[in-house]
Amino acid sequence: RNMEDTNKFLTKLKGCYFANTQLNLEFLENLDDFEIRDDDVFIITYPKSGTVWFQQILCLIYFEEHRKGIGNLETVERIPFLEYFSREVDFAERPSPRLFTTHIPYYLVPRGLKNKKAKVIYIYRNPKDVMCSYFHFSKKLTASATDNFVEFMNLFLEGEVAGSLWFDHIKGWYEHKNLFNIHFLMYEEMKKDLRGSVLKICKFLGKELSEEDVDAVVRQATFENMKNDPRANYDNKLKAYFGIQKKGHFLRKGTIGDWKNHMTAEQNEKFDMIFQTKMKDIPLKFIWDM
Ligand code: A3P
């Protein structure tokens, strides 16, 4: 077992940290052989980049009953996490098209994903907001992290969090994009033009929705609606996994530029310098404020 570093909250496998909750290490270690179907769809994100949001969008696009508010199957049941749900869900038994969510780095994916048929959607968000969102999330939910922002920033910049280093995650996926049938979508773009983003995604997925259906998707994927939608807000799962005493929510603020309320000018400068060095060869666009 190639496991270098573990603590109560994180496990490092093949160079990447995973949250211990629900983790199935054995499954992860054999992930390379996991059978991929041509019509599988994967949502890939670094934590806190809009995962839960995009799960809701994909559910609304794929499942008419979800769009119509029939039944109360949660998004996470429809689009389970690859690395965290393999004990609860028999992936091989799921009807096609199977939808998955995962935070794994590009080098850990099942090799079948490189057939370029199965589709991958990579959601990314400006890393200052990711860091702030992560700070609040881990502070509330995993006693592992600190409630000191400076300390958390250090952890984040060292990659000592689930998902490991943000820079490595996005660069890995971007630099190997030619191996995959992959579409990059920005959190901030969804925020600024949700309808346009939904249409782009439908095109990538080969899904044709009527005007009304697109309206229904957009309406139910807004922050306010999701926050109040038990199918989408994860509160039940958080209670089940972390206990009711914890007060965290996946839907916290949902804005662009909240880092300005957290970072000092000096911290910002330090972050910018690291960003410029690490990202200099990556032409992805970023939006840092509204
Ligand atoms: P904040 O903590 O900045 O509010 P993830 O699902 O990857 O853990 O990401 C969580 C972040 O996505 C949180 O950011 C959350 O509020 C935001 N988010 C979730 N749903 C959203 C929506 N419908 N619109 C905008 N942001 C959303």
Instruction: Tell me phi and psi for residue 183, to 5 degrees.
Output: -125, 125
Give all domains of the chain, ordered by start, each with its CATH number. 10-278 (3.40.50.300)
Q: Provide, rounded to the nearest whole percent, the portion of the chain with pLDDT above 90.
A: 81
Indicate if 249 belongs to the active site. Answer: no
Per-residue pLDDT reduced to its tens digit, 173-187: 999 999 999 999 999
| Distance in Å, CA 234 to ligand 1 centroid | 11
Q: Provide, rounded to the nearest whole percent, the portion of the chain with pLDDT above 70.
A: 94
Cβ neighbours around 9 below 10 Å, total:
18
CB 217 within 8 A of CB 55: no
Cβ neighbours around 92 below 10 Å, total:
9
The average pLDDT across 231-248 equals 78
Nearest CA to ligand 1 atom 26: 254
- Atom number in ligand 1 closest to CA 253: 4
As to burial, measured by CB atoms within 10 angstroms (0-12 exposed, 13-18 middle, 19+ buried), residue 198 is: buried
Amino acid at site 260 = K
The residue annotated as part of the active site, out of 103, 136, 183, 249, is 103
What's the rounded Cα separation, in Å, for the pair 241 and 141? 10
Cβ neighbours for 127, distance < 8 A, ≥ 6 positions apart: 166, 167, 271, 275
Per-residue pLDDT reduced to its tens digit, 204-224: 999 999 999 999 999 999 999
Per-residue pLDDT reduced to its tens digit, 6-31: 666 889 999 999 988 888 899 999 99
As to burial, measured by CB atoms within 10 angstroms (0-12 exposed, 13-18 middle, 19+ buried), residue 288 is: middle
pLDDT at 245: 61
What's the rounded Cα separation, in Å, for the pair 267 and 63? 44
- Atom number in ligand 1 closest to CA 232: 20
pLDDT at 281 over 80: yes
132, 152, 169, 252: residue to mutate for ligand 1 pocket, most atoms within 8 A of CB: 252
Which of 172, 164, 139 lies closest to 5 in space, CA to CA? 164
Average pLDDT, the chain: 93
User: Of 68-77, 231-240, 263-272, where does the model show the most confidence?
Assistant: 263-272
Nearest CA to ligand 1 atom 5: 48
| Distance in Å, CA 226 to ligand 1 centroid | 10
CB 124 within 8 A of CB 190: no
Q: How confident is the model at residue 244 (pLDDT cuts 50, 70, 90)?
A: low
227, 250, 255, 260: residue to mutate for ligand 1 pocket, most atoms within 8 A of CB: 250
The average pLDDT across 92-113 equals 97
51, 53, 224, 249: residue to mutate for ligand 1 pocket, most atoms within 8 A of CB: 53
The per-residue DSSP string of the chain comes to -----B-SSEEEETTEEEESTT--HHHHHTGGGPPPPTT-EEEEE-TTSSHHHHHHHHHHHH-HHHHTT-S---HHHHS-BTTT-TTT--GGGSPSSPEEEE---GGGS-GGGGGS-SEEEEEE--HHHHHHHHHHHHHHH-TTS-S-HHHHHHHHHHT-STT--HHHHHHHHHHTGGGSEEEEEEHHHHHH-HHHHHHHHHHHHT----HHHHHHHHHHTSHHHHHT-TTTS-HHHHHHHH-TT----S-S---S-GGGGT--HHHHHHHHHHHHHHTTT---------
